[in-house]
Amino acid sequence: MAMKLVVNQLFADRRGKLFRVVFINKITSMVYIVEVDKNHFPRPLTFLEFEEFVENQELQMVDDNIVRLDSDNDLTDVQRAKRDFAWEVVQFFFQVVEGEQYAFVPRYRQQAIKQACETFHISYNTVKTYLVRYWSGGGVKNSVLPRFANCGAPGQEKKISDKKRGRPRIRDGNQGVNVDDKMKKAIRAGLNKHYYSQRQNSLR
């Protein structure tokens, strides 16, 4: 394949829909992509099909501005508890499939989801939602939380002031800092350099 393709790259089609590359199987020459704003499992494309989409400008690589970068201090206790539970379910799923490539094979995926449902006493759709969020959000821990765009005031950034946003710290007197545009840019640069690479360094 002529173009350099790595896991977690984000692409947009002509209508503005976003797609993330979630797995590349070099043995079968298949690329798996997930539509970011849909609760659908990743779908496969051949390397050739994907390359043609890019060459015809039906898909264009875009900057990744959807990975959740909020720290634990920006989350409520309820959000952290929900995040940690969903993350535990996702990690259990990948342990059951015993190989990331099998997560994209419906037969093995269904078996692992069934075990997760029985182990955590949750529904099939709940497990599916956690997995799709994980893939859509770049595989970081906070990816299993709902996207900001689907919460209150969609698409609007909170105003930055001198007052620290989020829950006050209890254990120490350090108030922390607000994540402004400059800091977000630095964090995303770090993600691009160290995580969105062929080495796929883990953020888990």
pLDDT tens column, 88-139: 999 999 999 988 999 999 999 999 999 999 999 999 999 999 999 999 999 9
pLDDT digits (tens, 9 = 90+) for 7-36: 999 999 999 999 999 999 999 999 999 999
Spatial CA neighbour of 23 closest among 40, 2, 47 = 47
pTM over 0.85, yes/no:
no
Number of domains the chain is built from: 1
H helices within the chain, ranges in order? 47-55, 77-97, 106-120, 124-136, 181-190
14 inside domain:
yes
45, part of any domain? yes
Q: What is the mean pLDDT of residues 39-68?
A: 92
Instruction: With respect to residue 15, please indicate whether it lies within any of the assigned structural domains.
Output: yes
Look at residue 166 and tell me whether its pLDDT is greater than 60.
no
Residue 8 zone, left/alpha/beta (φ > 0; ψ -120 to 50; rest): left
**What is residue 127's three-state secondary structure?**
helix
The boundaries of the domain holding residue 19 are: 10-61
CA distance 85 to 100: 21
What's the whole-number average pLDDT of the chain? Answer: 81
Which CA distances in Å does 75 have to 106, 139, 182, 202? 34, 18, 21, 22
Q: Which of 166, 182, 151 is nearest to 71 (CA)?
A: 166
**55 inside domain:** yes
